[in-house]
């Protein structure tokens, strides 16, 4: 059990985004969160990551228990994530974006960096080497010096994944990593996601709308609707669950 | 009433009325920001340009009302040209870019004003003397200037008219839509160029009024451009998008600045009015980052 | 054909990370430094050195400082002149009260004082952004100037509020002539520019740019918001402080508050906008432009009145200067928001292909 969400409720003013949601994530597994639009999936990731603070409930990550996380601390604990609307640094190149993912591993202070003497130079090159491995892995060598703002959507998503991977996280939160992609791009992304899980053993929590993808790659699935959990289990169990079918078909309740 | 209290009331009243004058300038900023999302740093230069044009026409023996009308027309034209040359090419750029463009505009206007009209200071008379109101000075031994009260009255009327305009009329609604989202406003068929022309025209009118009031107070000279700088703390407190906020912010800044100047100034060598308003606004912002009536920004990720 | 990269392969990441990866660029910068350090002081006339080139270098340094804060870290600041003033006044006081300290340590300490002021006035950036922050920096500008004028300790209780800058000397070598002041300024600016370049392409620079581009994403990636923003203010103010000290010591010769008004803050901001935000080279290009442009304008108006017999008054010229500056700001923002530095880059791209069209 690497992550455990306990009774989390989140509200914005009068709007209840999440109501008493509880589920857990096992280490090394691929957990999908699915549900109709507005079900609270992104909010759930934002709570885990500390961008939103729930009014009620706790998150347990490894040995730590918190209800009031902040994103910076989440990053230092080993949680990385990508965003639905791509949160890349548009003014920087692909390489620089990926390098920002390594910032928690860079120990040299600014004076050393300004002088570019031994330690700073060594550290930069070391981290460059690590980032180049990810560039190879994601097959983005040809665009490493391109400013990110100029890349097509699909490649930007890949770069964002790269930045998250650069941090060598224990747990990766992916918010619709395949949104807006064509079939070929989706297949590539699936391959990367599975490889990350295989090779690095990273636990993955992903939000995804494409049912085919969810059924294929996830180990277990959580289904949210109107901020509540309505199903939790393997893809097969969830697929045949009547409540899930009703939610997606929009049956009144 | 004891003399200290009377003095305090005079100081306070002076401060409040000065604050009203700040609000007049701030109003121009709010109008443009509300309607186009642009923070128009050139508002001070516009005040200066309007006042200078008006005064120069008067000195060329033009009729008062004619000069007023012509100046107003000039300001409207200025607004149109600005919209066409500066704003339209920069649609949908970051707000900071537009802000810096208005800084450029400030310099253009400052240079233009002096190129056309010269750089000597001018005096200005509007027919209302800057003397204490007799009724107050005789009854209660208080000196509060007639002119200040007149200015306050003008500002009050202006604010009321503008507030109604924005809330109740169709054009006002369209303006608010444009401020919110240019693209969306275009998508629903709001004629963006016309709207901006109207707004800058109205802002030009407000600048003219402010310019006249300040011109009587301080004379029409280059230093008038700096009134814009005084209006900025007002905007920080009142929020950039609120007309009542501009008034309230102005009153707060005017009062605190005057009181501090008179009571605390001598303790630290005087001259604190150059920065006091800013520090007040800064402290206020730390408590309420969006100002009194500003809108809270929620970043959606 | 001169500017070909062909045959220049990078076989290590270290080579790839150089400041000037293309050999022709390295040769170019070497030549430039040679000219700057050797040819100019020998060949330059005193007026140009003292009145144009030295202030250009000083403004370039200040623009560099502002670029770090506004261009790289995205925190708009209108208080540049105030930080320069702190540097100038504190340098004066250190040299005055600790005469044994030497000029370089005095300047460094002055810079640190400016950095401290920068941190204090940068604290609001943790809560406020954008124009609100810019207006807050105005508070810094006005307050610092007021303090320097009203607190007599800063001017050593001088009755006029203006003090003469002492002569600077290093290990007995006095920098008293325009050539020597120029060389001193050049050395300081060159070193600090190198440090800045190193810094901006390291993790610090990336952190700054991340905060500028999307601060929530920066936090998610693990970049500490407060530390990064305050560091940006500190480093930027340090640079502006040293620039201010140079301004007083190698150019003006006096230390006075009047030299550091809001007008100067705007001038430096214009240098950054026109030269190119987020670019070290841009700071130099912008400073060169703004320093040389009034001279060019004066020459042009002189030529015009000579050729056409028109008498163009000084007032007209200075008003035209204002208008053209303002117009250029707007022009650059519309046409090339990344300024002269980007135009330079585009020119280099074209040069790589020359004489072929594509």
ipTM: 0.88
Interface contact C202-A115, CB threshold 8 A: no
**C200 alpha carbon, distance to own chain's centre:** 15
- The rounded mean pLDDT for chain B is 80
Q: Does B301 touch chain A (CB under 8 A)?
A: yes
- Residue A74's closest CA among A34, A104, A30, A40? A104
pLDDT in the model for residue C254: 87
C74 φ, ψ to 5°? Answer: 70, 15
pLDDT in the model for residue C4: 65
pLDDT in the model for residue C108: 94
Distance between CA atoms of residues C35 and C262, nearest Å: 35
Interface contact C143-B279, CB threshold 8 A: yes
State yes or no: pLDDT of A251 exceeds 60: no
pLDDT in the model for residue C239: 97
C318 in any annotated domain: no
Homologous superfamily assigned to A1-78+169-253? P-loop containing nucleotide triphosphate hydrolases (3.40.50.300)
Distances (CA, A) of B292 to B235, B236, C240: 10, 9, 34
Percent of chain C with pLDDT over 70: 94
pLDDT in the model for residue A219: 92
Question: Can you give the residue ranges of every domain in chain A?
Answer: 1-78+169-253, 90-166
Tokens representing C194?
């190198």
pLDDT in the model for residue C134: 83
| Nearest chain A CA: its distance from B173 CA (Å) | 26
pLDDT in the model for residue A249: 67
Contacts of B232 in chain C (CB under 8 A): 135, 138
User: Which whole number is the average pLDDT over C104-120?
Assistant: 93
pLDDT in the model for residue C85: 95
pLDDT in the model for residue C358: 67
**Residues B203-257: pLDDT tens digits?**
888 888 888 888 887 777 777 778 778 888 888 888 888 888 888 888 899 999 8
- Residue C196's closest CA among C236, C248, C163? C236
Count up the domains in chain C and report the number: 1
Strands A228-233 and A220-225: antiparallel
Interface contact A104-C204, CB threshold 8 A: no
pLDDT in the model for residue C311: 67
State yes or no: pLDDT of C204 exceeds 90: yes
Quote the pTM value.
0.88
CA angle A214/A215/A216 to nearest 5° reads 90
The strands making up A171-175's β-sheet, listed across from edge to edge, are A79-81, A171-175, A203-207, A30-34, A220-225, A228-233
Chains sharing 3 or more CB pairs under 8 A with chain A: B, C
- The rounded mean pLDDT for chain C is 85
State yes or no: pLDDT of C244 exceeds 80: yes
Q: Which residues contact C12 (CB under 8 A, 6 or more apart)?
A: none
pLDDT category at A33 given cuts 50, 70, 90 is: very high
Tokens representing A100?
């920002």
State yes or no: pLDDT of B165 exceeds 90: no
Distance between CA atoms of residues A228 and A231, nearest Å: 9
Helix/strand/coil for B294: coil
Place of tokens 């639009």: A37
Distance between CA atoms of residues C189 and B139, nearest Å: 68
Tokens representing B10?
């005079």
Helix/strand/coil for B108: helix
pLDDT in the model for residue A157: 93
Of A81, A106, A129, the CB nearest to C220: A81
Contacts of B301 in chain A (CB under 8 A): 42, 46, 51, 83-85, 87
Q: Which residues contact C153 (CB under 8 A, 6 or more apart)?
A: C93
Give the residue numbers spanning the domain of C202. 44-261
- Residue C59's closest CA among C345, C260, C278, C349? C260
pLDDT in the model for residue C258: 87
**In 10 A of CB B173, how many CB atoms?**
13
Greater confidence (C12 vs B84) lies with B84
C354 in any annotated domain: no
C68 in any annotated domain: yes
Tokens representing B73?
């027309």
In this structure, are residues A65 and A59 in contact, taking their beta carbons and an 8 Å threshold? yes
Interface contact C219-A124, CB threshold 8 A: no
Of A75, A83, A110, the CB nearest to C231: A110
Contacts of A85 in chain B (CB under 8 A): 301
**Residues B34-46: pLDDT tens digits?**
777 788 888 888 8
Name the least confident of B104-108, C143-147, C202-206, C321-325. Answer: C321-325
CATH number of the B3-287 domain: 1.10.3470
User: Which whole number is the average pLDDT over A104-109?
Assistant: 86
* Residue A227 Rama label (left phi>0; alpha psi -120 to 50; beta): left
């Amino acid at each position: 059990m690497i992550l455990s969400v306990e009774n989390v409720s989140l509200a914005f003013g009068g709007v209840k985004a999440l109501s008493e949601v509880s589920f857990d994530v096992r280490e090394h597994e691929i957990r999908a969160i699915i549900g109709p639009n507005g079900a609270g999936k992104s909010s759930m990731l934002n709570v885990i990551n500390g961008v939103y603070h729930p009014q009620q409930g706790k998150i347990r990550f490894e040995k730590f228990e918190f209800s009031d996380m902040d994103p910076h601390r989440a990053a230092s604990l080993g949680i990385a994530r990508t965003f639905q609307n791509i949160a890349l640094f548009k003014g920087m190149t692909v390489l620089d974006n990926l390098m920002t993912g390594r910032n928690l591993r860079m120990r040299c202070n600014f004076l050393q960096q300004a002088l570019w003497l031994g330690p700073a130079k060594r550290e930069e090159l070391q981290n460059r080497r690590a980032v180049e491995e990810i560039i190879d892995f994601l097959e983005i060598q040809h665009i490493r010096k391109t400013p990110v703002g100029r890349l097509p959507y699909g490649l930007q998503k890949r770069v964002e994944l790269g930045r998250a991977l650069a941090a060598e996280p224990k747990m990766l939160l992916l918010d619709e990593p395949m949104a807006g992609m064509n079939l070929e791009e989706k297949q590539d992304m699936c391959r990367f996601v599975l490889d990350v899980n295989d090779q690095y053993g990273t636990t993955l929590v992903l939000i995804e709308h494409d049912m085919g993808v969810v059924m294929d790659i996830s180990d277990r699935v959580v289904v949210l609707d109107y901020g509540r959990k309505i199903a939790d289990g393997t893809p097969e169990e969830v697929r045949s669950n009547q409540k899930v079918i009703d939610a997606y078909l929009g049956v009144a309740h | 009433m004891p003399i200290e209290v009377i003095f305090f009331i005079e100081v306070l009243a002076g401060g409040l009325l000065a604050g009203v004058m700040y609000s007049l300038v701030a109003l121009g900023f709010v109008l443009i920001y509300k309607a186009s999302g642009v923070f128009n740093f050139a508002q001070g230069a516009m005040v200066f340009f309007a006042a200078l044009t008006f005064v120069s026409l008067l000195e060329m023996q033009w009729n008062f009302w004619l000069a007023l009308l012509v100046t107003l027309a000039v300001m409207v034209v200025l607004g149109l040209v600005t919209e066409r040359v500066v704003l339209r090419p920069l649609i949908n750029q970051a707000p900071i870019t537009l802000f810096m463009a208005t800084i450029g505009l400030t310099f253009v206007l400052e240079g233009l004003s002096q190129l056309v009209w010269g750089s000597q200071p001018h005096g200005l008379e509007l027919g209302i003397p800057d003397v204490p109101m007799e009724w107050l000075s005789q009854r209660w031994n208080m000196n509060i200037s007639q002119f200040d009260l007149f200015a306050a009255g003008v500002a009050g009327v202006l604010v009321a008219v503008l507030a109604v305009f924005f809330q109740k009329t169709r054009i006002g609604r369209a303006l608010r839509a444009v401020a919110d989202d240019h693209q969306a406003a275009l998508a629903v068929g709001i004629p963006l160029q016309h709207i901006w022309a109207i707004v800058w025209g109205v802002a030009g009118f407000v600048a003219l009024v402010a310019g006249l009031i300040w011109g009587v107070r301080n004379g029409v000279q280059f230093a008038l451009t700096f009134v814009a700088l005084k209006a900025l703390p007002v905007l920080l407190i009142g929020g950039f998008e609120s007309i009542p906020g501009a008034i309230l912010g102005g009153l707060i800044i005017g009062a605190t600045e005057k009181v501090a100047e008179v009571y605390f100034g001598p303790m630290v060598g005087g001259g604190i009015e150059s920065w006091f308003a800013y520090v007040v606004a800064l402290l206020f912002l730390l408590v309420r980052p969006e100002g009194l009536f500003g809108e809270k920004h929620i970043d959606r990720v | 054909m001169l500017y070909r990269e062909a045959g220049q392969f990078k076989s290590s990441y270290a080579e790839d990370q150089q400041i000037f990866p293309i050999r022709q660029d390295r040769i170019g910068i070497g030549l430039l430094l040679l000219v700057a350090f050797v040819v100019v002081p020998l060949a330059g006339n005193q007026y140009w050195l003292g009145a144009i080139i030295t202030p250009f270098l000083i403004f370039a340094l200040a623009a560099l400082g502002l670029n770090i804060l506004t261009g790289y870290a995205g925190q708009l600041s209108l208080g540049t002149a105030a930080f320069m003033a702190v540097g100038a006044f504190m340098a004066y006081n250190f040299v005055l009260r600790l005469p044994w300290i030497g000029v370089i340590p005095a300047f460094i300490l002055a810079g640190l004082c400016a950095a401290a002021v920068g941190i204090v006035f940068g604290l609001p950036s943790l809560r406020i952004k954008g124009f609100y922050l810019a207006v807050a920096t105005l508070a810094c500008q006005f307050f610092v100037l007021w303090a320097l004028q009203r607190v007599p300790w800063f001017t050593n209780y001088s009755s006029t509020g203006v003090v003469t800058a002492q002569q600077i000397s290093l290990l007995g070598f006095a920098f008293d002539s325009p050539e020597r002041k120029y060389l001193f300024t050049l050395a300081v600016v060159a070193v600090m520019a190198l440090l800045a370049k190193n810094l901006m392409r390291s993790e610090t620079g990336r952190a700054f740019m991340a905060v500028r581009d999307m601060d929530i994403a920066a936090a998610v990636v693990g970049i500490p918001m407060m530390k990064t923003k305050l560091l940006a203010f500190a480093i930027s103010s340090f640079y502006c402080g040293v620039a201010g000290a140079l301004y007083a010591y190698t150019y003006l010769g006096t230390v006075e508050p009047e030299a550091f008004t809001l007008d100067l803050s705007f001038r430096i901001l214009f240098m950054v906008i026109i030269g190119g935000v987020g670019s070290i080279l841009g700071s130099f290009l912008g400073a060169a432009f703004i320093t040389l442009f009034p001279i060019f304008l004066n020459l042009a108006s002189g030529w015009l009145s000579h050729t056409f017999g028109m008498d163009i008054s000084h007032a007209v010229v200075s008003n035209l200067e204002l208008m053209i500056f303002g117009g250029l700001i707007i022009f650059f923002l519309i046409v090339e928001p990344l300024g002269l530095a980007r135009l330079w880059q585009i020119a280099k791209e074209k040069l790589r292909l020359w004489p072929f069209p594509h």
